[in-house]
Copies of this chain bind each other. A is one copy, B any other.
Amino acid sequence: MPNPILARLIDELGDAVSTEASDLRAAREDRSGLVSPATPLAIVRATSVADVQSTLRLASASGTPVVPRGAGTGLAGGGVASEGAIVLDVSGMRRVLEIDEANELAVVEAGVINGDLNAALAPLGLWFAPDPASRAISSIGGNIATNAGGLLCAKYGVTREAVLGLAVVLADGRLLRTGHRTVKGVTGYDLTALLTGSEGTLGVIVEATVRLRPMPAGEPVTVAAVFPDVTAAAVASARVTAARLRPAVLELIDAAGLARVVEYLASGALDGGARDGGSHDGGTVDGSAVADRLAGTPLDRLEAGEAFLLAQADGTGAAEEAAAIAAILADAGGRVTTSTDAATGERLLEIRRSMHPALAARGRVLIEDVAVPRSRLPEMFRAIERIGAKHCLEIPTLAHAGDGNLHPNFVFDEPAPGEPDVPLHVWSAADELFRAAVALGGTLTGEHGVGVLKRRWLRDELGDDQWELQRSIKAVFDPAGILNPAVMFEPDEPAHSPAVGRDR
């Protein structure tokens, strides 16, 4: 006899409900490297607000946990199956409901892919600015649920700044509309901002009214530079921002990261054989032509230990700004090239965007996501080096240097049966990384979210008072605790490894 909740789900939602083993399996992972050991009850593939409401009404009535899931491209395990949960997949809700050119806004369903919206906007000279590296495959609902960052935040802001209003289905199935269609609006508390970054724990985002921008005028100008080591590159990047320059992009890759990317590109992996199906970077790069790709850039004659810094200036003053950046980087000891050719600029950005698939192609990846005040970047890189040496780990790292947001990466083998999903020494190193970032005035997660992977540190960063307050807010929205219960807050029983103590 089938589970009675499942029977009612099927009764109400029919073909939208799947219990196929392959579907259940797929919902156990995202792009974080995590594979949840849990078996969900079912997958519901919602294609309408009504589907989402029906699912939540049933879940609420029966106390069944619900894991909202979009494109499945998260990097913190925020949308992976938990035991016995209904995985509520909204990736099929992908209609662009409205593009309002005069008011520079769009209304989209949650499953619309970031890159697809931008493709629709480009002919109109408009642009949705949030630019996570995953933009070709990640959904706007997911971007909002994690308050996604990306490459352009120092200049163009994080996702929150591009969200005007939301439609959210609450835990009990009611539909709530927050926000407005205007640039300004202060009627009551800013629930739109509160829901942005709430990782599916307060409600299920089904629709968003997002702010658009005019596309920057002219062609961007790209400055690429290679430095003898990562500290020199970090110092140079801090000098750029200290000079009051505000490039659209300012990305840094360390030597270990650079080696992996070059290796990946050389393997032709982007042609299609890789785990990411070549889509993670959104490009159509010819993988056999690495030399072409690197030609004319400082990357075509790399020395051991060298680190890479990539800046892009856009808008009316792009050429002057790029020239000023190039001068600073050269003065700081960089081997610099400047390119006014947009195709070359895009090629260089693709190298940056292929970092994650390059690592993922070699094994499981645990991506850290700390942020520090950007002047502390050199210190944070030194801390990473120290922690890596201590734990005998290579930690290839890239940074959104303009934001002080670093992604130190741990790559490890698939765990053997019975082994922990992430090796304990990796957790120990991650714990030290987190503490180093906070000690530098930083934060645990700049843009990926807490998910299940980082919840063990949430309370340490927030402190007990704020942690309790946040749990109480969760309880206001979701009194029965059915919405993504494994995410953000740790279960009440102490579940984390003994290596990770709470010492403050």
A492 to chain B, nearest CB (A): 17
8 pairs, A vs B, C-beta closer than 8 Å: A101-B242, A126-B244, A146-B186, A147-B186, A160-B190, A161-B161, A186-B197, A187-B450
Contact of A102 among B180, B184, B375 (CB under 8 A): B375
Given the known A-B contacts A244-B125, A477-B469, are A403 and B183 also in contact in the complex, defined by CB atoms under 8 Å? Answer: yes
Contact of A187 among B400, B402, B445 (CB under 8 A): B445
A238 B102 Cβ-Cβ under 8 A: yes
A470 B103 Cβ-Cβ under 8 A: no
Contact of A476 among B405, B458, B461, B473 (CB under 8 A): B473
A 361-385 contacts with B by CB, 8 A: 371-375
Q: Does A317 contact B (CB under 8 A)?
A: yes
| A146 contact set on B, CB distance < 8 A | 186
**What 1/0 flags go to A181-200 for Cβ under 8 Å of B?**
11111111111011011100
B465 A176 Cβ-Cβ under 8 A: yes
B488 A149 Cβ-Cβ under 8 A: no
Q: Does A174 contact B (CB under 8 A)?
A: yes
Complex: chain B residue closest to A371, CB-CB: B182
A 401-454 contacts with B by CB, 8 A: 402-405, 441-450, 454
Number of chain A residues whose Cβ lies closer than 8 Å to a Cβ of chain B:
91
Complexed CA–CA distance, A373 and B184 (Å): 10
Q: Does A217 contact B (CB under 8 A)?
A: yes
| A104 contact set on B, CB distance < 8 A | 241
Comparing A9-17, A80-88, A150-158, the segment that makes contact with chain B is A150-158
Q: Does A288 contact B (CB under 8 A)?
A: no
**What 1/0 flags go to A309-342 for Cβ under 8 Å of B?**
0000001110011000000000000000000000
| A461 contact set on B, CB distance < 8 A | 187-188
Task: Please name the 8 residue pairs, one residue from A and one from B, whose CB atoms are nearest each other, closest first.
Answer: A316-B317, A193-B193, A214-B244, A184-B446, A102-B375, A182-B371, A185-B443, A103-B373
A48 to chain B, nearest CB (A): 20
A190 B188 Cβ-Cβ under 8 A: no
A374 B316 Cβ-Cβ under 8 A: no
A478 to chain B, nearest CB (A): 11
Give the interface SS of chain A, mostly helix, strand, loop or mixed: loop
Point out which of A187, A197, A316, A371 has the most chain B C-beta atoms below 10 A from its C-beta.
Answer: A187
Q: Does A19 contact B (CB under 8 A)?
A: no
Complex: chain B residue closest to A218, CB-CB: B317
Point out which of A191, A372, A458 has the most chain B C-beta atoms below 10 A from its C-beta.
Answer: A191
A305 to chain B, nearest CB (A): 26
B374 A445 Cβ-Cβ under 8 A: no
A322 to chain B, nearest CB (A): 12
Q: Does A462 contact B (CB under 8 A)?
A: yes
List 15 additional A-B contacts (Cβ < 8 Å) besides A183-B403, A187-B458, A469-B477.
Answer: A102-B238, A146-B186, A174-B465, A176-B465, A180-B371, A180-B441, A182-B446, A183-B371, A184-B371, A186-B445, A186-B450, A189-B474, A191-B469, A316-B317, A316-B321
Q: Does A69 contact B (CB under 8 A)?
A: no
**What 1/0 flags go to A87-124 for Cβ under 8 Å of B?**
00000000000001111110000000000000000000
A102 B153 Cβ-Cβ under 8 A: no
A469 B176 Cβ-Cβ under 8 A: yes
B157 A157 Cβ-Cβ under 8 A: yes
